Amino acid sequence: MIARIHALLEEVGRLTADSADELEALRIKYLSKKGVVASLMNDFRDVAAGQKREVGMLLNELKDAAQNRIGALKASFEAAQPAGGRPDLTRTAYPVAMGTRHPLSVVKKEICDIFGRLGFSIAEGPEIEDDWHVFSSLNFAPDHPARDMQDTFFISHSPDILLRTHTSSVQTRVMERQQPPLRIICPGRVYRNEAISYRALCTFHQVEALYVDTDVSFADLKQTLIFFAREMFGPDTDIRLRPSFFPFTEPSAEMDISCNLCKGKGCPFCKHTGWVEILGCGMVDPSVLENCGIDSKIYSGYALGMGIERITNLKYRVKDIRMFFENDIRFLKQFESIR
Protein backbone atom coordinates (compact mmCIF):
# COMPACT_ATOMS: atom_id res chain seq x y z
CA MET A 1 0.00 0.00 0.00
CA ILE A 2 2.87 2.31 0.78
CA ALA A 3 4.32 1.76 -2.70
CA ARG A 4 0.93 2.49 -4.25
CA ILE A 5 0.58 5.76 -2.35
CA HIS A 6 4.06 6.88 -3.46
CA ALA A 7 3.11 6.12 -7.06
CA LEU A 8 -0.11 8.12 -6.68
CA LEU A 9 1.81 11.08 -5.22
CA GLU A 10 3.97 11.21 -8.33
CA GLU A 11 0.91 10.83 -10.54
CA VAL A 12 -0.92 13.66 -8.79
CA GLY A 13 2.08 15.97 -9.19
CA ARG A 14 1.92 15.53 -12.96
CA LEU A 15 -1.82 16.15 -13.34
CA THR A 16 -2.89 18.52 -16.18
CA ALA A 17 -6.21 19.55 -17.69
CA ASP A 18 -7.04 21.29 -20.96
CA SER A 19 -10.64 22.09 -20.15
CA ALA A 20 -13.04 22.54 -17.29
CA ASP A 21 -14.57 19.15 -18.08
CA GLU A 22 -11.19 17.41 -17.76
CA LEU A 23 -10.55 19.18 -14.48
CA GLU A 24 -13.89 18.04 -13.08
CA ALA A 25 -13.10 14.47 -14.15
CA LEU A 26 -9.81 14.62 -12.19
CA ARG A 27 -11.60 15.90 -9.09
CA ILE A 28 -14.10 13.05 -9.24
CA LYS A 29 -11.34 10.49 -9.80
CA TYR A 30 -9.22 11.51 -6.83
CA LEU A 31 -11.36 13.45 -4.34
CA SER A 32 -14.96 12.25 -4.66
CA LYS A 33 -16.60 9.90 -2.15
CA LYS A 34 -15.80 6.99 -4.44
CA GLY A 35 -12.47 8.35 -5.61
CA VAL A 36 -8.93 7.04 -5.17
CA VAL A 37 -8.24 8.81 -1.86
CA ALA A 38 -11.53 7.72 -0.29
CA SER A 39 -10.90 4.12 -1.43
CA LEU A 40 -7.49 4.10 0.24
CA MET A 41 -9.01 5.49 3.42
CA ASN A 42 -11.42 2.57 3.45
CA ASP A 43 -8.51 0.14 3.06
CA PHE A 44 -6.63 1.79 5.93
CA ARG A 45 -8.37 -0.45 8.52
CA ASP A 46 -6.66 -3.48 7.03
CA VAL A 47 -3.16 -2.03 7.46
CA ALA A 48 -0.95 -3.71 10.01
CA ALA A 49 -0.71 -1.91 13.33
CA GLY A 50 3.01 -1.27 12.91
CA GLN A 51 2.45 0.57 9.60
CA LYS A 52 -0.66 2.60 10.47
CA ARG A 53 1.31 5.69 11.51
CA GLU A 54 3.39 5.79 8.30
CA VAL A 55 0.45 4.93 6.03
CA GLY A 56 -1.81 7.47 7.73
CA MET A 57 0.72 10.26 7.17
CA LEU A 58 1.13 9.28 3.51
CA LEU A 59 -2.64 9.21 2.97
CA ASN A 60 -2.98 12.74 4.39
CA GLU A 61 -0.09 13.86 2.20
CA LEU A 62 -1.77 12.33 -0.86
CA LYS A 63 -5.10 13.98 -0.07
CA ASP A 64 -3.46 17.40 0.42
CA ALA A 65 -1.40 16.99 -2.76
CA ALA A 66 -4.51 16.11 -4.81
CA GLN A 67 -6.50 19.05 -3.38
CA ASN A 68 -3.66 21.51 -3.96
CA ARG A 69 -2.96 20.35 -7.52
CA ILE A 70 -6.60 20.41 -8.61
CA GLY A 71 -7.09 23.77 -6.85
CA ALA A 72 -4.10 25.23 -8.71
CA LEU A 73 -5.45 24.00 -12.05
CA LYS A 74 -8.85 25.52 -11.28
CA ALA A 75 -7.27 28.87 -10.37
CA SER A 76 -5.36 28.95 -13.65
CA PHE A 77 -8.60 28.35 -15.59
CA GLU A 78 -10.40 31.16 -13.74
CA ALA A 79 -7.54 33.57 -14.41
CA ALA A 80 -7.57 32.78 -18.13
CA GLN A 81 -11.35 32.99 -18.60
CA PRO A 82 -14.04 35.45 -17.44
CA ALA A 83 -16.44 34.45 -14.70
CA GLY A 84 -19.11 32.17 -16.01
CA GLY A 85 -16.86 30.06 -18.22
CA ARG A 86 -16.01 30.76 -21.81
CA PRO A 87 -16.52 34.33 -23.02
CA ASP A 88 -19.61 35.18 -25.05
CA LEU A 89 -18.10 36.62 -28.21
CA THR A 90 -21.48 38.03 -29.33
CA ARG A 91 -21.80 40.18 -26.21
CA THR A 92 -21.00 43.90 -26.32
CA ALA A 93 -18.01 44.95 -24.24
CA TYR A 94 -18.99 45.92 -20.72
CA PRO A 95 -19.34 48.40 -19.21
CA VAL A 96 -20.61 50.40 -22.18
CA ALA A 97 -19.90 54.10 -21.67
CA MET A 98 -22.58 56.35 -23.11
CA GLY A 99 -21.18 58.72 -25.72
CA THR A 100 -22.15 62.34 -26.24
CA ARG A 101 -22.81 64.37 -29.35
CA HIS A 102 -20.05 66.76 -30.32
CA PRO A 103 -20.98 70.40 -29.58
CA LEU A 104 -20.35 71.35 -33.22
CA SER A 105 -22.78 68.63 -34.34
CA VAL A 106 -25.36 69.86 -31.83
CA VAL A 107 -25.16 73.46 -33.04
CA LYS A 108 -25.09 72.44 -36.71
CA LYS A 109 -28.29 70.44 -36.27
CA GLU A 110 -29.93 73.29 -34.36
CA ILE A 111 -29.09 75.76 -37.15
CA CYS A 112 -30.40 73.37 -39.81
CA ASP A 113 -33.59 72.78 -37.81
CA ILE A 114 -34.26 76.51 -37.51
CA PHE A 115 -33.89 77.08 -41.24
CA GLY A 116 -35.81 73.88 -41.90
CA ARG A 117 -38.83 75.45 -40.22
CA LEU A 118 -38.55 78.25 -42.78
CA GLY A 119 -38.67 75.78 -45.66
CA PHE A 120 -34.94 75.47 -46.38
CA SER A 121 -33.61 72.10 -47.50
CA ILE A 122 -30.05 70.86 -46.96
CA ALA A 123 -27.65 70.79 -49.93
CA GLU A 124 -24.12 69.38 -49.92
CA GLY A 125 -21.16 69.43 -52.30
CA PRO A 126 -17.53 68.30 -52.67
CA GLU A 127 -14.78 69.65 -50.43
CA ILE A 128 -12.23 69.45 -53.28
CA GLU A 129 -13.46 72.05 -55.74
CA ASP A 130 -12.50 73.97 -58.86
CA ASP A 131 -11.81 77.65 -59.27
CA TRP A 132 -15.08 78.33 -61.08
CA HIS A 133 -17.41 77.20 -58.31
CA VAL A 134 -15.36 78.64 -55.45
CA PHE A 135 -14.26 81.96 -56.96
CA SER A 136 -14.99 82.89 -60.58
CA SER A 137 -18.75 82.27 -60.57
CA LEU A 138 -19.00 84.29 -57.36
CA ASN A 139 -17.46 87.47 -58.80
CA PHE A 140 -13.96 87.02 -57.37
CA ALA A 141 -11.64 88.99 -59.61
CA PRO A 142 -8.46 87.24 -60.84
CA ASP A 143 -6.36 89.42 -58.51
CA HIS A 144 -8.64 89.08 -55.47
CA PRO A 145 -6.61 88.49 -52.25
CA ALA A 146 -8.61 85.35 -51.41
CA ARG A 147 -7.02 83.61 -54.39
CA ASP A 148 -3.58 84.08 -52.89
CA MET A 149 -1.74 81.02 -51.56
CA GLN A 150 -1.80 82.63 -48.11
CA ASP A 151 -5.55 81.99 -47.89
CA THR A 152 -6.29 79.01 -50.11
CA PHE A 153 -5.03 75.42 -50.20
CA PHE A 154 -4.39 74.48 -53.83
CA ILE A 155 -4.03 70.86 -54.92
CA SER A 156 -0.62 69.93 -56.40
CA HIS A 157 0.17 73.57 -57.15
CA SER A 158 -2.74 73.70 -59.58
CA PRO A 159 -4.45 77.10 -59.87
CA ASP A 160 -7.77 75.43 -60.72
CA ILE A 161 -8.16 72.64 -58.11
CA LEU A 162 -8.37 73.58 -54.45
CA LEU A 163 -9.94 72.88 -51.08
CA ARG A 164 -13.08 74.97 -50.83
CA THR A 165 -12.73 78.10 -48.70
CA HIS A 166 -16.48 78.47 -48.17
CA THR A 167 -19.63 76.48 -48.82
CA SER A 168 -20.82 79.08 -51.34
CA SER A 169 -19.54 76.62 -53.94
CA VAL A 170 -22.49 74.39 -53.05
CA GLN A 171 -24.85 77.28 -53.82
CA THR A 172 -23.37 77.80 -57.28
CA ARG A 173 -23.63 74.08 -58.05
CA VAL A 174 -27.29 74.04 -57.03
CA MET A 175 -28.08 77.17 -59.06
CA GLU A 176 -26.45 75.60 -62.12
CA ARG A 177 -28.60 72.47 -61.82
CA GLN A 178 -31.93 73.94 -60.76
CA GLN A 179 -34.06 76.90 -61.63
CA PRO A 180 -35.76 79.02 -58.93
CA PRO A 181 -37.46 78.96 -56.57
CA LEU A 182 -34.46 77.83 -54.50
CA ARG A 183 -34.34 77.71 -50.73
CA ILE A 184 -31.28 75.80 -49.49
CA ILE A 185 -28.91 75.66 -46.55
CA CYS A 186 -25.34 74.40 -47.07
CA PRO A 187 -23.48 73.09 -44.01
CA GLY A 188 -19.97 71.69 -44.36
CA ARG A 189 -16.25 71.78 -43.63
CA VAL A 190 -14.08 74.44 -45.27
CA TYR A 191 -10.33 75.10 -45.42
CA ARG A 192 -8.18 78.21 -45.27
CA ASN A 193 -4.44 78.59 -45.00
CA GLU A 194 -4.40 80.46 -41.71
CA ALA A 195 -2.11 80.43 -38.69
CA ILE A 196 -3.49 78.19 -35.94
CA SER A 197 -4.37 79.97 -32.71
CA TYR A 198 -7.04 79.96 -30.01
CA ARG A 199 -9.37 81.84 -32.40
CA ALA A 200 -8.44 80.44 -35.83
CA LEU A 201 -7.76 77.07 -37.50
CA CYS A 202 -6.93 75.95 -41.02
CA THR A 203 -10.17 73.96 -41.11
CA PHE A 204 -13.55 74.86 -39.67
CA HIS A 205 -17.28 74.54 -40.41
CA GLN A 206 -19.71 76.87 -42.12
CA VAL A 207 -23.42 77.03 -42.77
CA GLU A 208 -24.64 79.16 -45.66
CA ALA A 209 -28.20 79.81 -46.76
CA LEU A 210 -29.56 80.85 -50.16
CA TYR A 211 -33.04 81.94 -51.20
CA VAL A 212 -33.77 82.81 -54.83
CA ASP A 213 -37.24 83.57 -56.17
CA THR A 214 -39.24 86.37 -57.70
CA ASP A 215 -39.57 89.59 -55.67
CA VAL A 216 -37.10 88.60 -52.93
CA SER A 217 -36.05 91.75 -51.07
CA PHE A 218 -33.70 92.84 -48.31
CA ALA A 219 -36.74 92.97 -46.03
CA ASP A 220 -37.14 89.20 -46.49
CA LEU A 221 -33.50 88.76 -45.52
CA LYS A 222 -33.90 90.90 -42.42
CA GLN A 223 -36.94 88.96 -41.23
CA THR A 224 -35.06 85.68 -41.71
CA LEU A 225 -32.12 87.01 -39.69
CA ILE A 226 -34.34 88.18 -36.84
CA PHE A 227 -36.12 84.82 -36.72
CA PHE A 228 -32.82 82.91 -36.70
CA ALA A 229 -31.20 85.07 -34.01
CA ARG A 230 -34.14 84.80 -31.63
CA GLU A 231 -34.60 81.06 -32.18
CA MET A 232 -30.90 80.40 -31.61
CA PHE A 233 -30.07 82.86 -28.81
CA GLY A 234 -33.40 83.67 -27.17
CA PRO A 235 -36.51 85.81 -27.80
CA ASP A 236 -34.94 88.97 -26.34
CA THR A 237 -32.06 88.99 -28.84
CA ASP A 238 -31.74 92.11 -31.00
CA ILE A 239 -29.82 92.33 -34.28
CA ARG A 240 -27.78 95.06 -35.93
CA LEU A 241 -26.80 95.21 -39.61
CA ARG A 242 -23.62 97.05 -40.66
CA PRO A 243 -22.70 97.79 -44.29
CA SER A 244 -19.95 95.54 -45.63
CA PHE A 245 -18.56 94.12 -48.87
CA PHE A 246 -18.61 90.63 -50.38
CA PRO A 247 -17.92 89.97 -54.07
CA PHE A 248 -21.03 87.83 -54.47
CA THR A 249 -23.65 90.04 -52.73
CA GLU A 250 -24.79 93.63 -53.27
CA PRO A 251 -25.74 95.26 -50.97
CA SER A 252 -23.82 93.35 -48.27
CA ALA A 253 -23.93 93.50 -44.50
CA GLU A 254 -22.41 92.08 -41.33
CA MET A 255 -24.90 91.06 -38.67
CA ASP A 256 -24.35 91.56 -34.94
CA ILE A 257 -26.52 90.29 -32.11
CA SER A 258 -26.97 91.87 -28.73
CA CYS A 259 -24.56 90.27 -26.27
CA ASN A 260 -26.44 87.54 -24.43
CA LEU A 261 -24.06 87.83 -21.45
CA CYS A 262 -24.51 91.48 -20.54
CA LYS A 263 -27.81 91.97 -22.41
CA GLY A 264 -26.28 94.77 -24.45
CA LYS A 265 -24.88 96.75 -21.50
CA GLY A 266 -21.23 95.99 -22.32
CA CYS A 267 -18.79 93.38 -20.99
CA PRO A 268 -15.34 91.94 -21.84
CA PHE A 269 -16.93 89.27 -24.04
CA CYS A 270 -18.46 91.87 -26.39
CA LYS A 271 -15.54 94.28 -25.87
CA HIS A 272 -17.90 96.61 -24.02
CA THR A 273 -19.87 97.36 -27.18
CA GLY A 274 -22.97 95.36 -26.33
CA TRP A 275 -22.83 93.64 -29.75
CA VAL A 276 -21.24 90.44 -31.09
CA GLU A 277 -20.71 89.73 -34.80
CA ILE A 278 -22.04 86.35 -35.98
CA LEU A 279 -22.50 86.31 -39.78
CA GLY A 280 -22.30 88.02 -43.15
CA CYS A 281 -25.19 88.42 -45.56
CA GLY A 282 -26.57 90.34 -48.53
CA MET A 283 -28.59 90.26 -51.70
CA VAL A 284 -27.17 87.93 -54.35
CA ASP A 285 -25.31 89.96 -56.98
CA PRO A 286 -27.18 89.79 -60.33
CA SER A 287 -23.98 88.78 -62.13
CA VAL A 288 -23.70 85.71 -59.86
CA LEU A 289 -27.21 84.67 -60.89
CA GLU A 290 -26.32 85.17 -64.56
CA ASN A 291 -23.08 83.17 -64.16
CA CYS A 292 -25.18 80.24 -62.91
CA GLY A 293 -27.77 80.46 -65.69
CA ILE A 294 -30.52 82.29 -63.77
CA ASP A 295 -32.23 85.33 -65.30
CA SER A 296 -31.46 88.21 -62.91
CA LYS A 297 -34.21 90.33 -64.50
CA ILE A 298 -36.82 87.90 -63.22
CA TYR A 299 -35.28 86.50 -60.08
CA SER A 300 -33.54 87.94 -57.05
CA GLY A 301 -32.27 86.38 -53.88
CA TYR A 302 -30.37 86.68 -50.63
CA ALA A 303 -27.52 84.71 -49.11
CA LEU A 304 -26.01 84.49 -45.65
CA GLY A 305 -23.20 82.54 -44.05
CA MET A 306 -21.83 81.85 -40.59
CA GLY A 307 -19.15 79.80 -38.86
CA ILE A 308 -20.49 76.97 -36.72
CA GLU A 309 -17.54 77.31 -34.32
CA ARG A 310 -18.42 80.98 -33.84
CA ILE A 311 -22.03 80.21 -32.97
CA THR A 312 -20.94 77.38 -30.65
CA ASN A 313 -18.53 79.72 -28.86
CA LEU A 314 -21.34 82.19 -28.26
CA LYS A 315 -23.70 79.53 -26.92
CA TYR A 316 -21.28 77.60 -24.70
CA ARG A 317 -18.49 80.11 -23.93
CA VAL A 318 -15.65 77.99 -25.34
CA LYS A 319 -12.58 80.23 -25.21
CA ASP A 320 -10.23 78.17 -27.40
CA ILE A 321 -11.48 76.99 -30.81
CA ARG A 322 -8.81 74.26 -30.89
CA MET A 323 -10.68 72.36 -28.18
CA PHE A 324 -13.34 71.41 -30.73
CA PHE A 325 -10.80 69.33 -32.66
CA GLU A 326 -8.61 67.79 -29.93
CA ASN A 327 -11.11 65.03 -28.98
CA ASP A 328 -10.34 65.47 -25.28
CA ILE A 329 -12.91 63.31 -23.50
CA ARG A 330 -12.85 65.66 -20.51
CA PHE A 331 -14.01 68.52 -22.72
CA LEU A 332 -16.65 66.48 -24.56
CA LYS A 333 -18.15 65.11 -21.33
CA GLN A 334 -19.22 68.64 -20.44
CA PHE A 335 -21.85 68.39 -23.19
CA GLU A 336 -23.51 65.17 -21.96
CA SER A 337 -26.69 67.06 -21.08
CA ILE A 338 -27.27 68.19 -24.69
CA ARG A 339 -27.56 64.74 -26.32
Helices and strands, number each (H, E), in the chain: 11, 9
- Tell me how far apart the alpha carbons of residues 266 and 259 are, in angstroms, rounded to a whole number: 8
What is the pLDDT averaged over residues 101-117?
Answer: 92
In this predicted structure, the answer to whether residue 289 has a pLDDT above a threshold of 70 is yes
Share the mean pLDDT of the chain.
Answer: 85
Q: Is 248 helix (H, G, I), strand (E, B) or coil?
A: coil
pLDDT given at position 141: 85
Among 208, 228, 223, 204, residue whose Cα is nearest residue 305: 208
| Residue 85, Ramachandran bin (φ over 0: left; ψ between -120 and 50: alpha; else beta) | left
What is the pLDDT averaged over residues 98-116?
Answer: 89
pLDDT given at position 337: 67
- Tell me how far apart the alpha carbons of residues 246 and 283 are, in angstroms, rounded to a whole number: 10
- The structure's pTM equals 0.68
| pLDDT grade for 338, boundaries at 50, 70 and 90 | low
SS3 content of the chain, % helix, strand, coil (to 5): 45, 20, 35
Q: Tens digits of per-residue pLDDT, 62-84?
A: 888 888 888 888 887 666 655 55
Sign of CA dihedral 37, 43, 44, 45: positive
Q: Tens digits of per-residue pLDDT, 12-62?
A: 888 888 887 888 888 888 888 888 888 888 877 777 877 878 877 888 888
CB-based contacts of 114, cutoff 8 Å, min separation 6: 227, 228, 231, 232
- Tell me how far apart the alpha carbons of residues 240 and 264 are, in angstroms, rounded to a whole number: 12
In this predicted structure, the answer to whether residue 212 has a pLDDT above a threshold of 70 is yes
| pLDDT grade for 93, boundaries at 50, 70 and 90 | low
In percent, the amount of the chain with pLDDT more than 90 equals 40
pLDDT given at position 305: 94
CA 7 vs CA 11, 254, 297: distances in Å: 6, 96, 109
